[in-house]
Amino acid sequence: MMPRFDYGELVRVVRTVRNDGTFPGKETGDVLAKAGSVGFVRNVGTFLQDQIIYSVHFTEVDLLVGCREEELIGADEPWVPAQFLFRDKVASRIPLAIGGVVVVAAGTRGEVLRVLRDHPGGPAYHAYFDGRTFLVPESALEPVEPECMEQPA
């Protein structure tokens, strides 16, 4: 097992890395490094003797995050940015139809389940609306601000 990257190398994380509960000072599920973030390899190790783990310093957020080799590419390798991330709340910008029948009205709120950066025509998403998952191009979605909890007066 030979590591692909070495100490000091500049790398890019290809998917959002969230706290799995092992990162101190952050809540489980908090974003540690967004997909596309660039950082420097600070250490190379193994986990369970069969996975290479890189400690990557993401200087933009000043965090040292453990990343698996399959989560990284060289910083100079081609990268397609996407507007939304896994778990982002979105709304359909247009009605979504199957066989000419509208199944999701414009403005319906949903959630991103998967980001497809290499989809022909640009980024697309598996998005969940009203109990169903749809393949939706980025242009058909818009961001939804998280709903705030009302504070008692």
Question: pLDDT digits over 39-59, tens only?
Answer: 999 988 877 777 888 999 999
Cα–Cα distance for residue pair 88/99, rounded to 1 Å:
27
Does one domain contain both 106 and 135?
A: yes
* 151 in a structural domain: no
Does one domain contain both 65 and 15?
A: yes
The two structure tokens encoding residue 32:
């540690």
> Which has the closest alpha carbon to 31: 8, 13, 9, 51?
13
Q: Which pTM was predicted?
A: 0.64
Residue 131: which domain range? Answer: 89-143
* Cα distance between the two ends of the chain: 60
Confidence band of 2 (pLDDT split at 50, 70, 90): confident
* 24 in a structural domain: yes
Cα–Cα distance for residue pair 137/98, rounded to 1 Å:
15
Number of domains in the chain: 2
Does one domain contain both 52 and 99?
A: no
Q: What is the pLDDT of residue 149?
A: 43
The partner residues of 92 in beta bridges, in order of sequence, read 141
* 5 in a structural domain: no
Contact (CB, 8 A) for 59 and 39:
yes
Confidence band of 79 (pLDDT split at 50, 70, 90): confident
Q: Which of 74, 106, 123 is the last residue of a domain?
A: 74
Does one domain contain both 101 and 138?
A: yes
Q: What are phi and psi of 139, to 5 degrees?
A: -65, -15
Which tens digit of pLDDT belongs to each residue from 124-149? 999 999 999 999 999 999 998 765 44
- Name, in order, each residue with C-beta under 8 angstroms of 99's C-beta and a sequence gap of 6 or more: none
> Which has the closest alpha carbon to 117: 10, 5, 9, 16?
16
User: What CATH number does the domain containing 112 carry?
Assistant: 2.30.30
Which tens digit of pLDDT belongs to each residue from 17-35? 888 888 888 888 888 998 8
Does one domain contain both 49 and 95?
A: no
Cα–Cα distance for residue pair 91/15, rounded to 1 Å:
22
Residues in the chain: 153
